[in-house]
């Protein structure tokens, strides 16, 4: 059975907003997670254009190596021209970073050429930032070929769709995500590294509101044979109301099949690697157990974090090895919990 890589979404959704929106809260963002197939490193790369700060797009880059080194870059830069030679708004770039939609829902590229500070996963886990870290030269060119239909949160579950009409939808903002294979070259200092791996691409357009955010667990990966999974869920609030919980499994052909996660690896500690992130998905065909362990963890560093509420969730962004039956792969995991729920 063939795969419709659009998932029924109009191809125009792939193109970026070319001019400043009237609503100052509207955001247009592209970000990707990439894992080297051998588990040597993982990357998180993104750019966000916020209407009220349209002349300075936020860009971020994390390159986390399994040995504990982390390149962590956060800056704002003037945007690139978003219109390509064919008159399409296929480019979202600023400063040293550039994303390009080559073919909607099929192929994207991302490149970077600049200098970025280096730290360690241990320091990030402890919430410590180096003072005036030495920058290292970083460049890469990566080609991304999509391999599964996009998942639109709320599209696979009536309960999830209803919940996303409330606060939970504001936490996410209108978005979809799509798994891919990646090929490219990464240069760090004098080191040249060939990249062959997997990744997840996220497109967001709209208003995002994080007031009242209380934690989450989000995991996704594609396996060598083509099967894949993805889910996102929020913790119970303790007031009897249902929490958002939605995901999918994919057998490599046809459509995404609905799932919900019933055993969840919530974030309860901060360390550099080695977290057990195994989980169980409930599907119409039965339960699916996926074993997982992180090979490198990073703690999110945000501009303006000093003004967040005192128990605002700490966000951990990590890269993991997963095993589903007799297949193994690498993939992403992002989790968050309030500091009061993190014990070590």
- Report the pLDDT value the prediction gives residue 213, as an integer from 0 to 100: 85
Token output for 9: 């979404």
The answer to whether 44 touches 62, Cβ cutoff 8 Å, is: yes
The Cα–Cα gap between 234 and 215 comes to: 6
Distance between CA 149 and CA 3 in Å, rounded? 7
CB 183 within 8 A of CB 195: yes
Q: Which CATH class is domain 11-341?
A: mainly beta
Predicted pLDDT at 1: 66
pLDDT of residue 344: 67
> What residue spans define the domains of the chain?
11-341
Global confidence as pTM: 0.96
Sites in the chain below the pLDDT cut of 50: 304-306
Q: What is the pLDDT of residue 89?
A: 98
Res 308: pLDDT: 66
The end-to-end CA distance of the chain, in Å, is 47
pLDDT per position as a tens digit, 110-141? 999 999 999 999 998 887 777 777 899 999 99
- Do 92 and 16 touch, CB atoms closer than 8 A? yes
At 210, is the secondary structure helix, strand, or coil? coil
**Closest listed residue to residue 289, CA positions, set 258, 264, 315, 253:** 264
pLDDT for res 304: 44
Instruction: Record the tokens describing residue 116, joined without a space.
Output: 């970025």
CA atoms within 13 A on the CB side of 299: 21
Residues 243-252 pLDDT 10s: 999 999 999 9
């Amino acid at each position: 059975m063939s795969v419709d890589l659009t998932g029924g979404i109009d191809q125009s959704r792939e193109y970026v907003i070319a001019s400043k929106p009237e609503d100052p809260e509207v955001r247009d963002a592209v970000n990707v997670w990439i894992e080297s197939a051998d588990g040597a490193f993982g990357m998180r790369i993104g750019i966000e254009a916020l209407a009220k700060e349209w002349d300075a797009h936020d860009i971020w880059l994390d390159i986390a190596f399994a040995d504990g080194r982390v390149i962590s870059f956060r800056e704002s830069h003037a945007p690139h021209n978003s219109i390509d030679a064919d008159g399409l708004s296929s480019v979202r770039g600023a400063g040293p970073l550039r994303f390009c939609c080559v073919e909607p829902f099929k192929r994207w590229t991302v490149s970077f050429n600049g200098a970025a500070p280096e730290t360690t996963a241990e320091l990030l886990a402890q919430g410590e930032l180096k003072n005036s870290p030495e920058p290292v030269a970083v460049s890469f060119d990566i080609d991304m070929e999509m391999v599964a239909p996009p998942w639109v949160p709320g599209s696979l579950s009536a309960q999830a769709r209803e919940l996303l009409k409330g606060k939970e939808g504001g936490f996410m903002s209108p978005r979809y995500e799509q798994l891919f294979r990646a090929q490219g070259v990464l240069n760090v200092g004098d080191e040249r590294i060939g990249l062959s791996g997997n990744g997840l691409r996220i497109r967001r357009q709209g208003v995002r509101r994080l007031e009242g955010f209380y934690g989450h667990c989000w995991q996704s990966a594609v396996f060598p044979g083509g099967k894949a999974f993805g889910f996102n869920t929020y913790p119970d609030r303790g007031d009897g109301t249902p929490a958002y919980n939605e995901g999918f499994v994919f057998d490599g052909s046809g459509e995404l099949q609905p799932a919900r996660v019933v055993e969840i690896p919530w974030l309860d500690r901060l360390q550099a690697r080695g977290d057990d992130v195994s989980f169980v998905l409930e599907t119409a065909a039965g339960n699916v157990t996926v074993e997982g362990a992180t090979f490198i963890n990073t703690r999110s560093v945000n501009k303006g974090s000093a003004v967040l509420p005192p128990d605002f969730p700490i966000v951990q962004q990590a890269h993991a090895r997963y095993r589903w039956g007799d297949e193994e792969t690498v993939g992403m995991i992002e989790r968050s919990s309030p500091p009061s729920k993190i014990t070590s």
